[in-house]
Chain A
Amino acid sequence: DAGITQSPRYKITETGRQVTLMCHQTWSHSYMFWYRQDLGHGLRLIYYSAAADITDKGEVPDGYVVSRSKTENFPLTLESATRSQTSVYFCASGQRGAEQFFGPGTRLTVL
């Protein structure tokens, strides 16, 4: 199906483990984004990418790593998960940097 998908939808992990959240879009959009959503903070940008092999930091990049070897995929890795990274993570894509279309989210719990 066309659109933007995220996997897994739910993930429970332990402190210190590496976790990778996947994002895939079928629109061939140039831009892709990762956000986290927490109560009291709204949506905050973690990283974004303007094209394959180009990534930039957002507002809250510490503790996260991204890569974009293919236009359609934009995985987000937590190299050593911490409890403060418990959140709902949203991936988005857009042809330009402004209008963005969001995936369904991944709910991550770090114990």
Chain B
Amino acid sequence: GQQLNQSPQSMFIQEGEDVSMNCTSSSIFNTWLWYKQDPGEGPVLLIALYKAGELTSNGRLTAQFGITRKDSFLNISASIPSDVGIYFCAGPNTGNQFYFGTGTSLTVIP
């Protein structure tokens, strides 16, 4: 079935560094969403993107909806320890089926 591939799978960074991750699909998506999941909890919505090329920020987070509508990018600036968690991209494809990405695990070293 449909798969959203995220890269990298995991990241280990120093506190204060910037982070970049991306998500790619084999099919076109109408909306891109980015979620963060802490251990033992449900995913929390960070950013929603609705138009190709759209760039949206939420504090230190910035996400972009790729021009081809098959990819999206998430950047975190000046990382802090509470940024630790798993980041998922997600969205509905043109068939209105909703998919989540494979996840990027982020570890921030103080």
Contact = CB atoms under 8 A, between A and B. Distances in A.
Interface of A: 33, 35, 42-45, 48, 58-59, 90, 92, 97-105
B92 A98 contact: yes
Contacts of A58: 97-98
Contacts of B33: 98-100
A48 B43 contact: no
A11 B42 CA distance: 17
Interface of B: 1-2, 30-31, 33, 40-45, 48, 50, 88, 90-92, 96-103
A104 B97 CA distance: 23
Given A98-B33, A104-B41, 14 more contacts: A33-B98, A42-B101, A42-B103, A43-B88, A43-B90, A45-B99, A48-B98, A98-B31, A99-B33, A99-B45, A100-B98, A101-B45, A102-B43, A105-B40
A92 B88 CA distance: 15
Contacts of B88: 42-43
